[in-house]
């Protein structure tokens, strides 16, 4: 797995030695970022990568010009992989790792900006995306113009919760990507 574009283009990313995470494939990331860049400037992005796994989505955004990225991940081995990738890319000044359960994010820390680009790539088929979107809304994590990306299994039946408007939905094999905005 590699960074696809931007200042770290071609740089290999570390991945866990177990199967506890499911990194987004290069092909899907390429299609996703093409869709995102047609809707927003990543140069203005404050990114939140939830269920971050390897950190590939957030690091791709920073490589393409995002201002900051916060990674939310509860599993210690995955946090170690994210830290390894951050250090390998020398991305210490624009990235932060928050080891926490997405269901227990609480209020946004006062010292952080609200996030205008959010990646949600939860374990498939458990309804965690819908729950996390509600946690983000209640905790004041999202800017008024927030663009959110939900990656789920196409059979999961993901439905945008109240307070979010669906912009686009695309299927890549078994993976479904849904783009939302805060309504």
pLDDT > 80? residue 11: yes
Q: What is the 3-state secondary structure (H, E, C) of 137-167?
A: HHCCCEEEEEEEEEEEECCCCCCCCCCEEEE
In CATH terms, 26-182 corresponds, of 2.60.40.3080, 3.50.50.60, 3.40.50.150, 3.40.50.300, to: 3.40.50.150
pLDDT tens for 122-133 read 988 888 999 999
Per-residue pLDDT tens digits for 59-92:
999 999 999 999 999 999 999 999 999 999 999 9
Pairing label, strands 115-120, 46-50:
parallel
Give the whole-angstrom CA distance, residue 127 versus residue 122. Answer: 9
pLDDT band at 57 (very low <50, low <70, confident <90, very high): very high
* pLDDT tens string 138-174: 999 999 989 999 999 999 999 999 999 999 999 999 9
First to last CA, the chain: 34
Q: Give yes or no for residue 19 having a pLDDT over 90.
A: no
């Amino acid at each position: 797995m590699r960074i696809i574009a931007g200042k770290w283009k071609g740089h290999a990313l570390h991945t866990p030695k177990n199967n506890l995470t499911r990194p987004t494939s290069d092909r899907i990331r390429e299609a996703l970022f093409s869709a995102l860049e047609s809707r927003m400037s990543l140069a203005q992005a404050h990114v939140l990568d939830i269920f971050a796994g390897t950190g590939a989505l957030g690091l791709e955004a920073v490589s393409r010009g995002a201002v900051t990225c916060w990674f939310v991940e509860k599993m210690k081995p995955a946090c170690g992989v994210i830290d390894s990738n951050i250090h390998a890319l020398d991305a210490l000044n624009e990235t932060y790792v928050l080891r926490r359960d997405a269901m227990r994010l609480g209020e946004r820390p006062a010292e952080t900006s609200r996030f205008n680009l959010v990646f949600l790539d939860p374990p498939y088929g458990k309804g965690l995306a819908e729950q996390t979107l509600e946690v983000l809304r209640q905790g004041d994590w999202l800017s008024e113009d927030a663009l959110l990306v939900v990656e789920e299994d196409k059979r999961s039946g993901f439905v945008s919760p109240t307070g979010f408007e669906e912009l686009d939905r695309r299927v890549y094999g078994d993976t479904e990507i849904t783009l939302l905005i805060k309504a």
